[in-house]
Amino acid sequence: MTIRALHLVKTSDGATWAARQAAVLVGLGIEVHVAVPARDGRCMPLWQESGAIIHVADTALDPRRPWRLLEQVRKLQGLVDGIRPDLVHAHFVANAMLMRLALRSRPALARLFQVPGPLHLEHGLTRRAEIATASAPDRWIASSRYIRDLYVRAGVPAQRVSLSYYGTDIAAISPRRTGVLRRRLGIADDVKMVGNISWMYPPKRWLGQRVGLKCHEDLISALGEVISRNPKVVGVLAGGGWNGAAWYERRLQDMAAAIGGGRIILLGPLDDAEVRDAWADFDLVVHVPSSENCGGVIEPLLAGVPVIATRVGGLPEVIRPGVTGTLVPPRSPRELAGAIESSLSRLVDQRGMAAAGKALVSEMFAIDRTAAQVARIYRRIVQGRAARSADVCEMD
């Protein structure tokens, strides 16, 4: 039996993990369709290469534009009627919410929400809103143990929440130091390069955030302390303002210039090939978000680079203190500065932990393994619903 799945994503620029997953699912014999909001975008080449059948439709609920809801509902219903999938697989909370609203009148159709991050679950209003829209056909795939535990604690039956990490292409990250960033920025080989590669997400004021989701402000503050005491250290932060947030990127640039005096460099976004080669140029990667799943630490570990991360979300599942890296409390720039200096003074030990981290993430996040888990979840859901349907027919 060939399973037909309709995937829903809210962006054509991001969610590379969903496109990579789809490619493996297609290779496993799943017929994958995907609804993307636009045919152009940074991620579209991956979707085109995946073998998925691409449909253009905006399937993300947007509470700021309620007048579009009816049109979106009808569009998604039309897609489902035309494709006739065995299940619909949403990759973002906005997609999951619209999926449930549009398909509530189709109780025989399985619905699956693979949860990419915990942010909405960490706030009571958004957590209750998401869970309240779910009904009998709905299942979840938590992409970390942390997310699974949040659902169970919120009252979702454990048997309705599977676990599968979003996978990545393990071989794509180069562990060889190319010097590409150092040459571009004029950084000498004897200078320690500390920083990260990350999109800059502006604060969500409606969630009470005063700094961006990835807390670049805290990292810049900590780097300011470090470089004031260590002339052979420079901070490098690559990445641009997410979704066109140039104002936020400029604000961070101004902060870095005021604190760093030219030794905290914000160099803007890199293309995918540059990112793959750039990780190994760092001596230490620092990822200190206020909310996170497991992102931001996998790539540097694959490159063999030591990592400091915050003790939030799914990050402790990857960064295990004294084993695969270092954890610090969130929103603690002074403690972070101390951790950076301590790590730089013990780089041999830190690189040994990074090697252990590479072994761990190479298994946890191997895309062939994680996508095969998703395929098994598909089969279990579809076969279970078929069995229940047969039971109903026999009773009739």
Query: In order along the chain (396 residues), what is the average pLDDT of each group of 10 residues?
Result: 95 92 98 97 94 97 93 97 97 97 94 97 95 95 98 97 95 90 93 96 88 97 97 97 92 96 94 91 97 96 98 98 97 97 97 97 96 97 68 36
pLDDT of residue 242: 87
Q: What CATH architecture does domain 4-167+366-395 belong to?
A: 3-Layer(aba) Sandwich (3.40)
Nearest to 319 by CA among 305, 331, 329, 309: 309
Nearest to 9 by CA among 51, 49, 39: 39
pLDDT of residue 206: 83
- Distances from the Cα of 218 to the Cα of 278, 286, 392, angstroms: 22, 11, 58
Phi-psi region of 369 (alpha: psi -120 to 50; beta: other; left: phi over 0): alpha
> What is d(CA 366, CA 201) in angstroms, rounded to the nearest whole number?
27
Nearest to 234 by CA among 284, 191, 269, 270: 191
pLDDT of residue 391: 39
pTM: 0.93
The CATH 3.40.50.2000 portion of the chain extends over 4-167+366-395, 171-364
Q: DSSP character for 92?
A: S
Class for the domain spanning 171-364: alpha beta
> What is d(CA 55, CA 389) in angstroms, rounded to the nearest whole number?
29
> What is d(CA 302, CA 318) in angstroms, rounded to the nearest whole number?
12
